[in-house]
Structure formats: C-alpha cells, structure tokens
Amino acid sequence: MIKSRITRQERVAEARIYRAQLTLFLEKLWPALLPALGMVALFLLLTLFELWQFLPWIAHYAVLAALVGIGAFLLIRDLKDLEWPRRGEALDRLEKDGKIPHAALRAREDRPFSQTDEDSPLWRAHLSRMEQLSSKARLDKAKATADRLDPWNLRYGALLLLVVGTFIAWGDFTPRFWNAVSPRPAGSIPATVDLWIDPPAYTGRAPVILVQSKANPEGSQPGIAVPQGSTLHARINGADRRGPGRARLIVETDNIGRASTDLSRSETTLTGEASLSENAAITLTVNGRKASWPVVVAPDQTPKINFAEDPLATEEGRVRLVVELDDDYGITESFAVMSLDPDQDRPLDTPAITADRATDEEIVPVSGLTGAYGVRSAELTLTDHPWAGLDVNIRILGKDGAGQEATTETVSVTLPERDFYNPLARAIIHERRNLAVAPDSWTQTSRSLDALTFAPDRFFDRPTEYLLLRAAYWGVINGRGENVSDLIEEFWPLALQLEDQALELARRALAAAQQALREALERGASQSEIQRLVENLRTAMQNYIQALAESGQSMASRQGESQELEARDLDDILNSINELSDSGANNAARQLLSELEQMLQNLQITQGGSGSQSGQQQAGGQQQGDGSGEGGQQGAGGETAQRTGDLIGRQRDLADETFEAQRQQFDPEGTGSGAQSAAQLQQQQEELGSAVDDLLEDLDNATAESGNGTGEDIARSFREARERMAEAAEALESGNLGAAGAFQQDALDALREGADGISDQIMQAQQGDEEGEDGQSTRGGRNGAQAQVDPLGRPYGAPAPSTDIGIPDLSDPERARELILELRRKLSEPGRTEEEIDYLERLLERF
C-alpha cells in the first residue's frame, strides 16, 4: 500500500514537471516567433487593405521579397538557439510559483552518500519532510515574455487591424491574395472587360454598355435603369489564370441576396450572364480592381386595350376591328376571342344552340392589332367560319412581350357569310351551321342529306353532285355524332365544289403552281427547272381561265378597269418572267410574279356579268373615278408622298443619332457630351415636328376640298407621329435618351403608316375610271394628256381593246443583263475601297 501510494505521487509530480517545461518552452518560443509574425501581419495588412496597388510593380516585388527575406532571417535567428527546458529549470519554476522553501522538490531527488543510510530514521524523516513541502508546488500562468520585445503592445493594434481588414475584404480575399503575390509589370497587357445589359427584345431598347473593352473601373459607378427581364452579360479577356478567384461577378438583390455568377472559362476569356428581375447591385472584381453599379429595374406595365369603334361587318364580307392600345413597350400579339350569342333568334326549323357550344370560345389570331399605343385597325375574313351568319360575342385579347394580357369589353356582331348560288351548296352550308351550334343534331342532318339525294335521275343534272352528297350522307351516318368537328371542316370545301367544281380545282392548281415557281426563284434554281415550272404555271393558268369561261364569269378587274384581260396577256408576262430569270435577274422575276398573282387575285367573279355585287362594284368604280378626276390631284399626291419620304428619312437619321448619343452617355470617357447632344437633338426633333405640322395643315385642306374619307385616316397617322415627336422632344429635354429613342421609333412607324395610306390613295386615284356624263372615259383625252400605264405597261381605264395591252419586251432583260455584267466588271477592278465594294454589292443584290 505504501509503495503504491508513492508511485502515484511520483506520476503526479512528473506530470507537473512536464507542464512546467512546456510553459517555459512557450515563453521562449513566443518572443522568438514575434518578429517573423510581424512580417506576416504586415503582408496581410497590405493585402486586406489593397495597399499593393499603390506600389509600382518593381517596388511591389522588392517589398514582397524583403518581407519574405526578413521574416525568414528573424525566424532562423531566433529559433536556432531554442532548446527544451531542463528538468532543473522546471523544478525551480514550480518551487518559485509554489513558494516552497528549502528547495523541497530538488531535495526529493537527492540520494544519501551510502546505500545503508537510505534505511536510517533520519533520512526517512528528511524525505517525509520534503514530500510534505513539495505537495504545495504549483504552476502559475505563462509570463508575458513578449513585453521585452514589444513594450508598447503594438502587437494588439496589429491584431485589431487584421480583424477590421478581414471584415472589409470578406468574400474577396482570394483575388486580393493572388494580386498581392503576383504583381504585373506596367508594360503587360491588362485584362479587358466587356460588361453590358441587354433589355428584352420586345422592348426595342438598345443595350446598355457598362464597360466596353477596357480595364475594369474601380469604385462605385453611376446608377442605371433597365426594363424588367433584362440580361446582364460579362466577357473578360486576358484574365490571369494563375488564381481561381481573379475575376468575380456578383449580383445582389433584396429578395435573393448576394449571388455569385458562374464565369465560364476558355483559354483566355471568361464569360457569364445573369437575369435582372428586380433592383440589384452589380459588383465586378477583376485582378483586384472592384467596381459596382446600382441598377434600377423598371417593371413592365400591364397593357390596356379597348374598342375604339364597335366591330362592323363590311360590304366585302370582312369584320372590321378598331381598337385603342396602350402599353409601355407594345402589344406583340392580339387575338379575337369569339363565342356564340346564346340569346340570338334562330329559325324554328333549326336546332337551338346547346349549352356547351354557348360556352365554347374560338380564338383567331389578328396580326394588325399590335403596337405600343394608339389606334389600330384590322379586318378579318371569317366567311369560311362555321359561325358565319350568326351573332357572336367578340372581344380582343392582347399580349405584350412579357406575356401579360389585356382584353376589351365583349361586343356582339353578326359574322358576314358568303353567298352561294347553287341550292345544294346552300343546303350544305345550312347543315354545317346547324352542326356547329348543336352537334347532337347530326341525325337531322343525315335525314336532310338523305332527302336531298332522293330520286337522283330526276333532280340531278350532274352525277358528281349526287355522289358528293351521298358521300357526305354516309360520312354523317357512319360517324354517328363522333366526328362532328371533322364534318364541319369537310362541308366547306364540299360546298365550294358544289358551287363550282371545275373552278375550285383550277384555282387550287394555280395556287400550287405559283408557290412552286416562287420558291424556285427564291432559292436560285437552275434555268431548266424555272422553265419547267413556268410551263406548269402557264398550263394551270389556262385551265383556270377556261374554268372561268365555262362558268360564265368574266376576267374584269375588281379595280374598275373596263377592258377584260386575255390569256395572251398573261402568257406574255410568263415569258418575261422566264427571260428575266434567264438573265439572272431573279429579284425582278419575283417582282413580276407577285404582280401577276395580284392580277389573278383581283379578277372579279360575277354571275353572268350582272347582279348586285357587280352593280355595287361598278358604282364604286364610278365614284372612284369621280374622286380622282381633278387634274392636279395626282400631282399633289406625288408631292405629298415625296415630303413624307423626306420626313421619314430625317426621323430615321435623328433616331440613329439619338442611339449614338445614348451609347456615348455611358462611356466613362465621354463626360459632359451627353447633355449637349441631347439639346441639339431636341432642337432637331422640334424642327421635324414643325414640318409635320405643315404637312398636316396641307392634308386637312386637301381633305376638306375633296371630301375623301381616306384622308382622315392618313391625317390620323401623321397626328400620332406628331404626338410621338413631341414626347421624344420632352424626353430629350430631360436627358432621357432611351425613352426618346422609343418615341422616335414609334413616330417612324406612324410616318410609314401614313406614307402607305398616301400610296394607296394615289393608286386608287390612278386606277379609278373618270366617267363623264356620256359614259366615255376622259383619262388621257382631257387637255391632251396621255393615258397612264401600270407597271406592266397597260393603260388605266382606257377603252382601248385588249390588243393594246403592252408587256415589257426583251429590252428589259437585256438591260438587266448589261447592268449585271457592268457591276461584276467594276467589282473585279483592283484598288476599290471597302465603301465602293459594299455599294456595288448592294446594287448587284437588287438584280
């Protein structure tokens, strides 16, 4: 028991001695490390506070090398003599801290002179006394040995600065560290940055350039405003790849917080992008250079759309829609949403509208009702719709580029329907309409079709009509109400076939031949293929003309021409198309083909040359002729068109200058130039608006004198252009170049719309018949003036026979061929500038 107790005391004593040795070692180690740690702290302070950037690269290298060299020297010098404390030093430290007298700890380790004295009572009493005294031994805390080297406690100030620097460089320590250990010479190529923001395409806004092929700026940059949904793009060239954090792009928002954007790395380029859906702060760090941009994201406003006029069924069998639009960036899509009016009157012998059909909606795209704001109009041809002839509730649904929707109020209108003269065709359309409003009435439809085909040998002159109706009957019977939608689609071409089978088939073949020739000209097909397709079109056109003749329908133009076209005239046009294609003038051939298609589309279809339709159109032609009979009207229209073209050119140039000024506004080196440019642009915009006011005054006077209603539509377009110009001038006055550019683009669109209206008015005036009281045409005979001709050389409204109709002869393709050869020769000449080459190539593309 005694031996065991003594061993345990010895272990405790040895542990106490070891701790004393460790404490003494640390007290020696800390002063030895302090000078070297001072060099490390100095390096960290220079790095965290980015003080290296103020040193030239040579001084940077020198300071960096000095810090490393001095630190290594001090570390080696102070550690070379550092040894582990001896046992006696530990015992002295324990005795001193425990205030043990008589060196009791050392006495415990003493040995008597002779081995026989170990068992003497006096020696045991001595050990017992020393054990008792040594039990009071203890070790105090380590002493502040660094005070000898740092009597003013500067080390605590350095530690405080390190803490502050850590908070300042939080998140950017890695790029700062790599910038500190790898300085760049002044002559080396720095990293260049391209940073820009792309607004959504539907806004029509130009990109906002933050940095363009320059070194990354430093500090806070001016704030910018962009539309919602914009995309931030970054491209960094020549970034140092020795450190993974040399470039960093951060987008911080209120909702998402701080988000780092991944930069994709190639050999020498870093690229990345981020979406901007709310206000954000953009921070870009490149090689230690940090810049930030506050971004204000303007939300996309909800569009508005309302009927400016109630929908109206026109005499031409179309539905006219006039709406007023309002959106910040413009409505990009519009649809007519229709549903059957359940309260409309229906004949007693027809089925009532079922509940499910009354709630169904038909959505029809309307391409013309788009734009930012203003009044827009469009016409829909719905005569082939199953609801034609019925009352429908219609509203217009508009969508902007962001997908937001707006709708008008619901208005009731009667859809116009096509007149069918064949009684069987009328019966098919009647049953088609019944199926469209009541699909369950298929049994009644089958009975009606069965009754129509009763006694075919007595009531049908043509077997094909009987077979078509019987096929429709068995289609209804076999479907048993499950294929109603297919029947509705099939009944329309069936009615057209019954109305005129040969003419409909010929019309389809003609359309297919025209499409094939158009595609061949567009892709630059071989001449042999062009000739084959021209012959196919010639055959299809002859079949179509023959079908017209067999049906008793004339080829008089809808535009009021008194003469009738002959097949020979159209053959001459086809020959000209072939010759133009052979000479390489494909653009001219396509233009001539388009004019031929327009001629065929404008052929008036009448029943036996009489009837209400032809009478109305002839009366309309007379009115048109009367309206254009003034001698100076066409000349005035040409002058107005010329003035409008000049206004469009000036407005387009002004919009380009505004865009250039906006780009320079964000150029860091272009300070002060933006406001001066805006003032000059404002003055030019106001001068242009005054020119539009003069044009409007002349248009109003001409409209009042002629009483022509189309002049009001043209003037409305120019008034809208004038309003947009005024808004652009106000935006330029306030320095908002982005908004000014948008208003200028809208003014351009309105000017073009007005120019189109003037062009249409001139064409109508040229093509109208100037009938006198005796019914004879006065065009060309009044004041000795010659009859005007259309692009194909035919006189407008002249009573000359069709043999006088002229078609361009071989001189046109010959001249085209000569021009092409001359342009190619000039392009092959050496020494021409890039501008001349570009101009000649643009001319060559026109042929």
pLDDT digits (tens, 9 = 90+) for 418-461: 877 778 888 888 888 888 888 888 888 888 888 877 777 766 66
Of 148-162, 256-270, 400-414, 781-795, which has the strongest mean pLDDT? 400-414
Place of tokens 């392009």: 827
Q: 31-40, 158-167, 467-476, 772-781: which has the minimum mean pLDDT?
A: 772-781
Residue 498 phi, psi (nearest 5): -65, -35
Q: What is the pLDDT of residue 545?
A: 75
Q: What is the mean pLDDT of residues 654-669?
A: 71
Q: What is the mean pLDDT of residues 802-814?
A: 41
* pLDDT at residue 622 is higher than 70: no
DSSP letter string over 339-361? EE-TTS---TTSPPPPHHHHH--
Place of tokens 């065991």: 4
Place 550 in a pLDDT band, splitting at 50, 70 and 90: low
pLDDT tens digits, residue range 463-508?
Answer: 777 777 788 888 888 877 777 888 888 888 888 877 776 666 677 7
* pLDDT at residue 169 is higher than 70: yes
Q: What is the mean pLDDT of residues 34-48?
A: 89
Place 788 in a pLDDT band, splitting at 50, 70 and 90: very low
Q: 48-57, 146-155, 563-572, 816-825: which has the minimum mean pLDDT?
A: 563-572
Query: Quick one: which of 463, 509, 469, 459 has its CA closest to 490?
Result: 469
pLDDT tens digits, residue range 595-613?
Answer: 777 677 655 443 333 333 3
* pLDDT at residue 517 is higher than 50: yes
Place of tokens 């022509």: 708
Report residue 69 as tokens.
């060299």
Coil/strand/helix, residue 664: helix
In Å, how far from its chain's centre is CA 619? Answer: 48
Q: What is the mean pLDDT of residues 559-577?
A: 61
Q: What is the pLDDT of residue 664?
A: 73
Q: 7-21, 285-299, 300-314, 435-449: which has the minimum mean pLDDT?
A: 7-21
From residue 677, alpha-carbon distances to 48, 225, 814 in Å are 43, 20, 50
* pLDDT at residue 802 is higher than 60: no
How high is the mean pLDDT of the chain?
Answer: 75
DSSP 406: E
Q: What is the pLDDT of residue 393?
A: 94
Residue scoring higher pLDDT (592 or 360): 360
pLDDT tens digits, residue range 378-434?
Answer: 999 888 899 999 999 999 999 998 889 999 999 999 999 987 777 888 888 888 888
Task: Report the percent of the chain where pLDDT is more than 90.
Answer: 12
Q: What is the pLDDT of residue 753?
A: 81
Q: What is the pLDDT of residue 139?
A: 75
Coil/strand/helix, residue 742: helix
From residue 687, alpha-carbon distances to 254, 580, 581, 646, 650 in Å are 45, 45, 47, 13, 10
Q: What is the pLDDT of residue 632?
A: 41
Alpha helices, H only, 214-366:
355-359
Q: What is the pLDDT of residue 821?
A: 67
* pLDDT at residue 628 is higher than 90: no
Query: Quick one: which of 177, 186, 188 has its CA closest to 64?
Result: 177
Q: Is the dihedral of CA 102, 108, 113, 115 positive or negative?
A: positive
* pLDDT at residue 709 is higher than 90: no
Cα separation, 387 vs 381, whole angstroms: 12
DSSP 793: S
Q: 171-175, 183-187, 212-216, 448-452: which has the minimum mean pLDDT?
A: 183-187
Q: What is the pLDDT of residue 812?
A: 47
Q: What is the pLDDT of residue 624?
A: 34
Q: What is the mean pLDDT of residues 114-137?
A: 65
Q: What is the mean pLDDT of residues 283-303?
A: 88
Cα separation, 479 vs 745, whole angstroms: 55
DSSP 786: P
* pLDDT at residue 148 is higher than 90: no
Residue scoring higher pLDDT (185 or 775): 185
Q: What is the pLDDT of residue 705?
A: 67
Q: What is the pLDDT of residue 199?
A: 93
Residue scoring higher pLDDT (592 or 32): 32
| Exposure of 615 in the CB half-sphere (CA atoms within 13 A) | 3
DSSP letter string over 597-648? HHHHHTB---BTTBSHHHHHHHHHHHHHHHHT--TTHHHHHHHHHHHHHHHH
Query: Quick one: which of 131, 141, 125 has its CA closest to 105?
Result: 131
Residue scoring higher pLDDT (623 or 341): 341
Q: What is the pLDDT of residue 101?
A: 64
CB 102, CB 136: distance < 8 Å: no
* Angle ∠(74,79,83) on CA atoms, nearest 5: 160
Q: What is the mean pLDDT of residues 700-724?
A: 76
* pLDDT at residue 797 is higher than 70: no
Q: 343-347, 440-444, 620-624, 829-833: which has the minimum mean pLDDT?
A: 620-624
* pLDDT at residue 186 is higher than 50: no
Q: What is the pLDDT of residue 458?
A: 65
Q: What is the pLDDT of residue 836?
A: 74
What residues have CB less than 8 Å from 648, skipping those under 6 apart? 748, 751, 752, 755
pLDDT tens digits, residue range 195-250?
Answer: 999 999 888 888 999 998 888 888 888 989 999 989 999 998 876 544 444 688 88
Q: What is the pLDDT of residue 653?
A: 81
Q: What is the pLDDT of residue 319?
A: 92
Place 623 in a pLDDT band, splitting at 50, 70 and 90: very low
Q: What is the pLDDT of residue 94?
A: 75
Q: What is the pLDDT of residue 565?
A: 53
* pLDDT at residue 264 is higher than 60: yes
Task: Report the percent of the chain where pLDDT is more than 70.
Answer: 71
Residue scoring higher pLDDT (241 or 661): 661
Cα separation, 365 vs 361, whole angstroms: 13
Cα separation, 791 vs 812, whole angstroms: 12
Q: What is the pLDDT of residue 60?
A: 87
* pLDDT at residue 846 is higher than 70: no
* pLDDT at residue 781 is higher than 50: no
